[in-house]
Amino acid sequence: MSTGNLRLVNVVRTGDANDPITAEFDRLSLADLRTRPGAKWQVPGAQLLPAWVADMDFPVAEPVRDALRGVVAGGDYGYPDWPGGASPLRQAFVDRMSERFDWRPDVAHVREFTDVTQAVQAVLHLATEQGDGVALHTPAFGPFVRSIENMGRRLMPIPMVDTPSGWTFDLDRFAADLVGSSCRVLLLVNPQNPTGRVFSHAELRGLADLAERHGLLVISDEIHSDLTYRPHRHIPFASLDPATAERTVTLTSASKAFNLAGLRCAVGHIGPAWLRREFAALPPNLLGSVGLLAAQATLAAWTAGDGWLDSVGSYLDRNRAMVADTLARRAPEIRHHLPEATYLAWLDCRALGWGDDPAAAFRDLAGVELSPGPSFNPGGDGFVRLNFATSTPMLRRILDRLTDAASLLPSAA
């Protein structure tokens, strides 16, 4: 089972005493974490150890903190000077895509959103009608499924398939499902949440060919792309070829890789010319705008935060190996594929005999809050999602609790 490093430059090995960033991570204390006001630590309550929502416990990168301090110290919280409403994030996004993923999108086709979910909803609103189908790999990020359903669109699942070598999907089945369907959009999440799969070039090429054949708009959520582990390589969907780029909306954010979700900032590249015209025709300010602090934090992360990200990548690499090793030794009934990206482990607990929602049993028996598998349905019953982006000592404590609970008889749950 490979535990290679992230595809980042100057990766620092976890546990290196000379790395002040990872040393800071190791020093995270339970007492300090419990004082945090965010949802991750406050919602479950003081009796539980949280390993659920996709926030990292790590302190934010120093360049980001410096940027925010600079704005606060300057005391100017007025309207920013962004000519034509275009923030500097647009060029920073283009530069980052070029440097990291060998794709150079047109900066004129880039715009800001408050978060990726808002962007997905805005695109679906403009590009589809009630009753239209939206294809999505499942199990899936819950807010996307709920968005599709609440907007009156119809979910067309592309089921992820659990094989001995890892998660995959049946492209031929998806092709057959598309025939005669009302599907208008492929909502692609790559790297995939919750399985942690990084889709290969061949898989993406197959999806692109189907999208062209059936006239599908592709919304590609690539928010976890900066957290891809070697030897896997993230490939922006729009980078496959010009025709694919012209039917693809690419969405990303610094929120996952740099732990900035609460600041609310995302960026999208709108490939289809007709969709850019639809956005331009919206009433001014209907979608709101990105705040000054959010823009400055994201800019600092993308232009000066890669040293911190290197250390995070190495640390997460060690943590994901710890999850795999601990479960294999102490709870082999819990099936698990090493994630190829993200800091999220998708755990198959069906052999424990704890029903559709084993997260409830782990909450009661282990005192650990996990993301319930049914919230990722279809395909999540019997699973839990574990967030391992915490200090190694804290993760060890969480895993000890989980494996001790898994050793109990099913009737104890």
What CATH number did the domain enclosing 128 receive?
Answer: 3.40.640.10
The helix (H) or strand (E) run that includes residue 49 is: strand 49-51
Q: What are phi and psi of 372, to 5 degrees?
A: -70, 135
Q: Is 280 exposed, middle or buried (0-12, 13-18, 19+ CB in 10 A)?
A: exposed
Go through 196-230 and write b for each residue having 16 or more CB atoms within 10 A of its CB, e for each that does not. Answer: bbbbeeebbbbbbebbeeeebbbbbbbbbbbbbbb
Q: Are residues 146 and 245 in the same domain?
A: yes
Q: Are residues 227 and 140 in the same domain?
A: yes
Please identify, among 303, 331, 366, the residue that sits at the C-terminal boundary of a domain: 303
Determine, yes or no, domain membership for 72: no
Average pLDDT over residues 62-71: 97
Q: Six-digit token pair at 346?
A: 């998708």
291/305 Cα distance (integer angstroms): 20
Q: Are residues 33 and 82 in the same domain?
A: no
Determine, yes or no, domain membership for 10: no
Average pLDDT over residues 151-168: 97
Q: Six-digit token pair at 235?
A: 């490939």
174/32 Cα distance (integer angstroms): 47
Determine, yes or no, domain membership for 2: no
pLDDT at 409: 57
Determine, yes or no, domain membership for 91: yes
Tell me the CATH number at 54. 3.90.1150.10
Look at residue 18 and tell me whether its pLDDT is greater than 80.
no
pLDDT at 9: 27
The whole domain housing 110 covers 78-303
Q: Are residues 93 and 240 in the same domain?
A: yes
Q: Are residues 219 and 358 in the same domain?
A: no
Please identify, among 273, 303, 333, the residue that sits at the C-terminal boundary of a domain: 303
Q: What is the pLDDT of residues 329-376, one digit of tens each?
A: 999 999 999 999 999 999 999 999 999 999 999 999 999 999 999 999
Domain count, the chain: 2
Q: Are residues 178 and 39 in the same domain?
A: no
Determine, yes or no, domain membership for 12: no
Q: Six-digit token pair at 364?
A: 């009661």
Please identify, among 303, 329, 351, the residue that sits at the C-terminal boundary of a domain: 303
